[in-house]
């Protein structure tokens, strides 16, 4: 591709920069030509990394869209609750968008953004990156062959590890629904619900019910004698499972982009610097005494229009991070675990002595929370914008509506004691 897609980053966060890596790996496909971010250090460091000229650095979306159009598309990696308000003027200015999930935090905003994209004939691709993980993509391709027949039931499970739960949903940006404007199901499990909708194909969700709550990470469950801040007044700093010292100082690189973001403008920071930082940082609070209010476990049941059913279970604070899937059809079933990169196709086999015939599929992708899908997604976005090519994984905004609505209605159900909610597309 001799003429790379010219792209502006809006919101220079962790996910935006992962997608922008395509411009460094395959510069013939993508070129980063602008940056919009209110943080001066981040704005300047990103501009330096991608050789962005001074005139293409902006502190706000308003300043960016006031300029004549100088690029093809935008990577919008802003926080969840401003996805719609930042995307609307970008669409009206003539840009297509690669938009981080979830693309909206409520149904009204969702419908407003879909309407705007359609009105201005702009393309929005939502970053449901698990569709591009070879594990899930091979499962989708297997389903399309019809080998297991019609789907009767689909089960997805996400176990959110204790250190991920601590970092994102107890101490971090997505801990409090009033502040981040996104529920746990929306912020974390919209990936899983999207996978369910994608694998079900043309079959649409009709009803959903859900139960869940905040059971573990509450003040009354704090260990006896626990302090308020791990590194200030807690005698359990060396023994507590959720000690900030044990999770962040003993593993300083594991969640570095989130935990140490306020130190990003400093050079040669030491563990001693980070220890001092945790004494005042939100990540240094006792995990049982934060202002978190998102659920730490939730289950939902979906009925599809065909009569098929689906379930999703999210459990936070597990020892092992894990996504599992089990799909049962009229002729067989598929089950596997994302992190292993392995799934099994088990078919009914009525021959004498044969109850079922199993085939193991190993996609050989491990140690990647998104199963190797990040750059594949970005490549697909380029192809979608350039040539209107929709791959089997491509998530246009219209394709994302089923999953978002299911999440919104599931959360409404949970807050109404499991009331069955209709899903109207």
For the stretch 329-376, pLDDT in tens is 999 999 999 999 999 999 999 988 889 999 999 998 755 556 568 889
Half-sphere exposure of residue 276, counting CA atoms within 13 Å on the CB side?
Answer: 5
Domains along the chain with CATH numbers? 5-122 (3.40.50.720), 131-217+292-422 (3.30.360.10), 219-284 (no CATH)
Task: Kindly report, residue by residue over 285-301, the tens digit of the pLDDT.
Answer: 999 999 999 999 999 99
Q: What angle do CA 221, 227, 233 make, to 5 degrees?
A: 165
DSSP SS3 for 6: strand
State residue 367's pLDDT score. 56
Q: What angle do CA 268, 249, 178 make, to 5 degrees?
A: 105
State residue 370's pLDDT score. 60
The residue written with tokens 């401003």 in the block is 82
Residue 331: other Cβ atoms inside 10 A: 11
Least-confidence region, from 75-84, 153-162, 259-268: 259-268
Pick the closest to residue 70 from 44, 88, 52 (CA basis): 52
Decide if 377 contacts 132 (C-beta within 8 A). Answer: yes
Query: What would the two tokens of residue 11 be?
Result: 């919101």
Q: What percent of the chain has pLDDT over 70?
A: 98
Strands 421-422 and 205-213 come out as: antiparallel
pTM of the model: 0.94
Is pLDDT of 199 > 70? yes
Half-sphere exposure of residue 310, counting CA atoms within 13 Å on the CB side?
Answer: 30
Pick the closest to residue 36 from 70, 66, 60 (CA basis): 60
DSSP structure class, residue 165: I
Q: In what order do the strands lie in the sheet with 151-161?
A: 356-362, 342-348, 332-337, 322-329, 151-161, 309-318, 297-304, 205-213, 421-422
């Amino acid at each position: 591709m001799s003429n790379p897609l010219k792209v502006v980053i809006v919101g220079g966060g962790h996910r935006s920069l992962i997608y922008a890596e395509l411009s460094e790996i395959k510069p013939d496909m993508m070129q980063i030509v602008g940056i919009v971010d209110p943080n001066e250090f981040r704005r300047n460091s990103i501009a330096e990394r991608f050789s962005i000229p001074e005139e293409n650095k902006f502190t706000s979306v308003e300043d960016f869209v006031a300029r004549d159009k100088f690029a093809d598309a935008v990577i919008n990696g802003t926080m969840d609750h401003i996805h719609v308000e930042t995307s609307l003027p970008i669409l009206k200015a003539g840009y297509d968008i690669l938009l981080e999930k979830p693309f909206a935090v409520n149904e009204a905003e969702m419908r407003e953004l879909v309407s705007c994209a359609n009105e201005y004939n702009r393309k929005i691709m939502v970053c449901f990156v698990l569709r591009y993980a070879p594990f899930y993509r091979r499962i989708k391709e297997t389903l399309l062959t019809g080998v297991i027949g019609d789907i009767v039931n689909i089960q997805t499970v996400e176990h959110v590890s204790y250190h991920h739960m601590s970092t994102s949903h107890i101490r971090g940006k997505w801990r409090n629904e009033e502040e981040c404007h996104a529920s746990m199901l929306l912020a974390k499990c919209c990936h899983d619900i999207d996978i369910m909708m994608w694998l079900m194909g043309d079959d649409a969700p009709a009803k959903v019910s859900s139960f869940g709550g905040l059971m573990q990470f509450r003040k009354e469950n704090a260990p006896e004698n626990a302090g308020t801040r791990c590194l200030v007044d807690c005698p359990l700093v060396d023994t507590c499972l959720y000690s900030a010292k044990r999770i962040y100082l003993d593993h300083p690189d594991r969640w570095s982009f989130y935990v140490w973001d306020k130190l990003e403008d400093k050079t040669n920071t030491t563990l001693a610097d980070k220890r001092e930082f945790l004494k005042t940082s939100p990540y240094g609070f006792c995990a049982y005494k934060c202002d978190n209010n998102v659920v730490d476990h939730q289950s939902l049941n979906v009925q599809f229009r065909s009569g098929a059913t689906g379930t999703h279970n999210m459990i936070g604070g597990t020892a092992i991070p894990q996504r599992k899937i089990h799909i049962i059809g009229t002729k067989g079933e598929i089950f596997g675990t994302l992190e292993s990169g392995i799934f099994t196709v088990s078919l009914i086999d009525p021959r004498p002595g044969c109850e079922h015939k199993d085939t193991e599929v190993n996609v050989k992708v491990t140690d990647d929370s998104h199963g190797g899908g990040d750059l594949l997604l970005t490549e697909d976005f380029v192809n979608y914008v350039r040539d209107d090519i929709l791959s089997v994984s491509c998530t246009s905004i219209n394709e994302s509506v089923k999953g978002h609505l299911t999440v919104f209605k599931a959360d409404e159900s949970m807050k109404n004691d499991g009331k069955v909610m209709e899903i109207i597309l």
